[in-house]
Amino acid sequence: MSTNHATIYDLHSHTTASDGELSPNALILRAKAADVDVLAITDHDTIAAYASIDTSILGGLTLIAGAELSTQWNKKNIHIVALNIPLTCNAFNAFIARQQQSRIERATIIAEKLAKKGFKDILPGVLAKAGKSAIGRPHFAQQLLEIGAVRSTEEAFKKYLGNGKTGDVKQTWAPLEEIVGGIRDAGGTAVLAHPLKYRLTRSKLHQLTYDFKAAGGEAIEVVSGKQDIIKSNELAKLCVQKNLLASCGSDFHQPGKSWAEVGKHSRLPEQCTPVWDRW
Ligand code: AMP
Ligand code: MN
Ligand code: MN
Ligand code: MN
């Protein structure tokens, strides 16, 4: 194995346990092929991926136990990446189970709302699409595509599921303080995921990072996926200003398409203190 490079950390990625396309083992092999040294699998509101990992394939790859938790702040759906979480702790598993319950309740509400738009009885199909994976809006997008309501999953998000649309249901998610506090109480590290994806004004973004830190949050995702370097530098500034640590990740979901490739995000700007410095 080549060790002739700076350590590559990818602390945000998805598998078939939520809305990713690759199985946990396939993701690990892909990360290794991309020279990733430290990988966190961070599926939406589930840690199920970790139960199916074949540790014999890890080789020199270090796995950080993680999850991407959905929460509600200021009527927005905000994502918190939890790192170094205790996978076998009963209290933490109960915390994750509540998140899954919120996903199921939310799916029912989304289906009711879409029924009012004329798409009746789509929930059974959506549940079948999700199978054992954490049910999410991408499964609704697939079902809307299958019934011919849209021509692509992108169109499904644009018309029915994305920010501010009918299917953008937030009320089932626990408040930010509860999620960040729960991660902290479990001994994990809470990271504010992709801060620029919420389309907040500057002052709202400052308010969010303030509330996040007050709740026990420790880091912000300064580098996320294909985000351009100018934006990463802005987030680096915010990170230093708020005295928070910095994280980075691809947010990989599937090969090709619009998602970043695992391990291929840019490195953290130098002025940031990496979240792994305290590990
Ligand atoms: P959920 O976790 O159920 O709230 O769904 C959010 C997920 O949907 C994100 O993590 C993405 O994987 C996916 N997603 C969000 N916006 C889009 C979009 N415009 N096109 C395709 N997928 C999207
Ligand atoms: Mn996703
Ligand atoms: Mn996210
Ligand atoms: Mn993600």
pLDDT tens per residue, range 102-159: 999 999 999 999 999 999 999 999 999 999 999 999 999 999 999 999 999 999 999 9
DSSP strand pairing (76-83 vs 189-192): antiparallel
Has residue 5 got a pLDDT over 90? no
Does residue 138's CB lie within 6 angstroms of at least one atom of ligand 1? yes
Give me ligand 4 centre to Cα 122, in Å. 25
The reported pLDDT for the residue numbered 251 is 98
Does residue 19's CB lie within 6 angstroms of at least one atom of ligand 1? yes
Q: Which ligand 1 atom is at minimum distance from the Cα of 18?
A: 2
Has residue 172 got a pLDDT over 80? yes
What residues does the ion ligand 4 have nearby, CB within 5 Å? 68, 251
Give me ligand 2 centre to Cα 83, in Å. 17
Q: Give the tens place of pLDDT for each residue, 177-208.
A: 999 999 999 999 999 999 999 999 999 999 99
Strand, coil or helix: what is 44? Answer: strand
Give me ligand 4 centre to Cα 118, in Å. 30
Which residue owns the Cα nearest ligand 1 atom 20? 154
- Ligand nearest the Cα of residue 141 is 1
Model confidence at 4, pLDDT cuts 50, 70, 90, reads low
Q: Which ligand 1 atom is at minimum distance from the Cα of 139?
A: 3
Pocket residue to mutate for ligand 1, from 19, 46, 154, most atoms within 8 A of Cβ: 19
Q: Give the tens place of pLDDT for each residue, 255-273.
A: 987 889 999 999 999 999 9
The reported pLDDT for the residue numbered 70 is 98
Does residue 154's CB lie within 6 angstroms of at least one atom of ligand 1? yes
Other beta carbons less than 10 A from residue 106's beta carbon: 21
Which residue owns the Cα nearest ligand 1 atom 12? 19
pTM: 0.97
Residue, of 36 and 256, whose pLDDT is higher: 36
Pocket residue to mutate for ligand 1, from 78, 79, 137, most atoms within 8 A of Cβ: 137
